[in-house]
Structure 1
Amino acid sequence: MATQSSPDQLVGILRDTVVALVRRDGPDLSARQLGVFLTVYLTDGPHTVRGLAAELNVSKPAITRALDRLGELDLARRKVDPMDRRSVLVQRTLKGASFLRDMRSIMAQAEQTARESAPAGEAAATEARRAG
């Protein structure tokens, strides 16, 4: 049976994942860029600038700036919607799919590290409560 991670473990996994992403030779995304990227890759589309702005509760110019950077890195691309030429669709790329695979692997490693260190940390916390 899987055990549920504590908030501290989840924050540790997030930290370890972000640090690994920053250290590796690859794109270094801001929180907003990462939020846009993950929304495009982990939720069903089609995705538009307007729709992403609404879903993430940020302005359309903020989404446009994030997409500019994702486009420079070839992690996502924009295409005019052939059905409504006023709308811009956001598309996934092969490089973006590869980046997501790498991120999943890094996060799985961070989770494994957290699980391996959790029993010792939990035992120490229990001992501290008993002593106090």
Structure 2
Amino acid sequence: MAAPPNPVSDAQVGLLRDTVVALVRRDGADLSARQLGVFLTCYLNEGGHTVRGLAAELNVSKPAITRALDRLGELDLARRKVDPMDRRSVLVQRTAKGSAFLRDLRAIMTEASGDGKRTTRKAA
């Protein structure tokens, strides 16, 4: 027996869907869920970020973070720099292009949430 719909979580899932669809439809590179998670963690959480710290925070392996950062670096959404205090460690830095992407993402989400008139699909 299916659980009754939850209007709050259904609205949140609808907003996520509308945001992802808008990102898919726009020109530009696509980010995987993991890449987007790493990007948002770097841009929304204050402080310096390391591969080790991101792996711990997101509960994924360091190689998974490295692959995500490789892609973010290719797109100039993030940059890696050797930590001057500990040359064995790498710091993740924000970029101007990454900041612009975050502004665009916020605008897409604002538009998607709009006046609550988003279309939602019923489960088949």
TM range (shorter): 0.7 to 0.9
Structure with max Cα Rg: 1
- Number of residue pairs matched by the alignment: 114
Corresponding residue for residue 72 of structure 1:
74
What is the one-letter code of the residue matched to 2:33?
A
CA contact (8 A) 2:80 2:91 kept: yes
Worse-matched range after superposition: 20-29 or 91-100? 20-29
Q: Which runs of 5+ in 2 are unaligned?
A: 1-6
**TM-score when scaled to structure 1?**
0.83
Corresponding residue for residue 102 of structure 1:
104
Corresponding residue for residue 44 of structure 1:
46
The alignment's C-alpha RMSD in Å is 1.6
What is the one-letter code of the residue matched to 2:81?
K
* Superposition deviation, residue 64 in structure 1: 0.0
Indicate the structure with greater helix content. 1
Quick one: structure 1 residues 109 and 87, their matched pair in 2 at CA, closer, same or farther if it must change by over 3 Å? same
Matched, 1:15 2:17: yes
State the alpha-carbon separation in 2 of the partners of residues 81 and 8 from structure 1: 43
Render the CA deviation track for 1:63-90: whole Å, top value 9, x for unaligned.
0000000000000000000000000000
State the alpha-carbon separation in 2 of the partners of residues 117 and 99 from structure 1: 23
Quick one: structure 1 residues 23 and 16, their matched pair in 2 at CA, closer, same or farther if it must change by over 3 Å? same
Corresponding residue for residue 125 of structure 1:
none
Matched, 1:56 2:58: yes
CA contact (8 A) 2:22 2:108 kept: yes
**TM-score when scaled to structure 2?**
0.88
Identical amino acids, percent of aligned pairs: 77
CA contact (8 A) 2:83 2:90 kept: yes
Task: Find runs of 4+ consecutive structure 1 residues off by over 3 angstroms.
Answer: none
